[in-house]
Amino acid sequence: MKMKVLAINGSPHAQKGNTALILQPFLDGMKEVGAEVHLFYTKGMKINPCQGEHTCWFHTPGKCFQEDDMQEVLPKLIQADILVLATPLYVDGMTGPMKTLLDRFISIGDPIMELRDGHCRHPRRPGVKDGKLVLVSNCGFWELDNFDPLIVHAQAISRNLGREFSGALLRPHGPALKAMVNQGMPVNDVFEAAKEAGRQLIQDGRMNADTLKIISRQLVPRQQYVDIANQHVRKLLSALEDK
Ligand SMILES: Cc1cc2nc3c(=O)[nH]c(=O)nc-3n(C[C@H](O)[C@H](O)[C@H](O)COP(=O)(O)O)c2cc1C
């Protein structure tokens, strides 16, 4: 049977963003080995914030009273063997639209609390798949540890959804990747590794740590990155002063 993948990209830059640069080959790799992939961009979708009224628990079990684009996402989530959350790092976490979408996942949980692995949880409603969760992210700062808070969050979400956290494709100093592509510099190994991680996840059920390391590899030394970024910023600011 085909593995079903639900991917959500929470970048306001959607297809044109730095997150998409890593997400796309990852999904291509999964498709190449037979996965069925559904990709949603939060940009352009109408997803209202959860109103916290618990209507989906106590009035219309499993169904939110808000009629918006979550009605397209939830049926895919229920069936997904693999859930891919792709987001740029915003204020040390995920983007607002991604969080808004995730808050609406509450309708797939049963209100009765249980103790699972020694911790309070809400069980999934009958028919909701467990499966895996993968994080894809990129950020503006240079260091890999900028992702630490987001990884902890993604791991917690995995536990709450009853999904196994399968790891993360992380691209620090992400904006350098597109700049290097545009300048014809050798970065193809990063894209190939993202594709390979996708193939591995479907075929082997796990991603190889060495493959993930290539995706996060240093693109430019830190001081050089800071200098180039600041040069670019100064140019933009002085153009503003000239106006
Ligand atoms: C509102 C906002 C908050 C951001 N916060 C962080 C941050 O906390 N750490 C970081 O390294 N980069 C941060 N960034 C930079 C983005 O992660 C970076 O530009 C990324 O490449 C954007 O990805 P995208 O093109 O897919 O949207 C922030 C950018 C914005 C606009």
Q: Which tens digits make up the pLDDT trace of 35-47?
A: 999 999 999 999 9
Report how far ligand 1's centroid is from the alpha carbon of 159 (Å): 26
Atom of ligand 1 nearest to the CA of 12: 27
Quick check: 42 and 97 in contact, CB under 8 A? yes
Q: Over the stretch 99-144, which tens digit does the pLDDT of each residue have?
A: 999 999 999 999 999 999 999 999 999 999 999 999 999 999 999 9
Q: Enumerate residues lining ligand 1, CB below 6 A.
A: 11-13, 17-19, 88-92, 138-141, 146, 174-175
C-beta neighbour count of 110 within 10 angstroms: 16
Q: Over the stretch 146-178, which tens digit does the pLDDT of each residue have?
A: 999 999 999 999 999 999 999 999 999 999 999
Mean pLDDT of 198-212: 98
Mean pLDDT of the chain: 97
Residue 94 CB contacts under 8 Å (≥ 6 apart), including other chains: 10, 85, 87, 102, 150, 153
Q: Please state the pTM of the whole predicted model.
A: 0.98
E strands, the chain, in order: 4-9, 36-41, 82-88, 114-116, 119-121, 132-138, 164-171
Note the pLDDT of residue 219: 98
The stretches of 33-174 forming alpha helices (DSSP H) are 55-58, 70-79, 96-103, 148-161
Report how far ligand 1's centroid is from the alpha carbon of 140 (Å): 5
Note the pLDDT of residue 61: 96
Residue 186 CB contacts under 8 Å (≥ 6 apart), including other chains: none
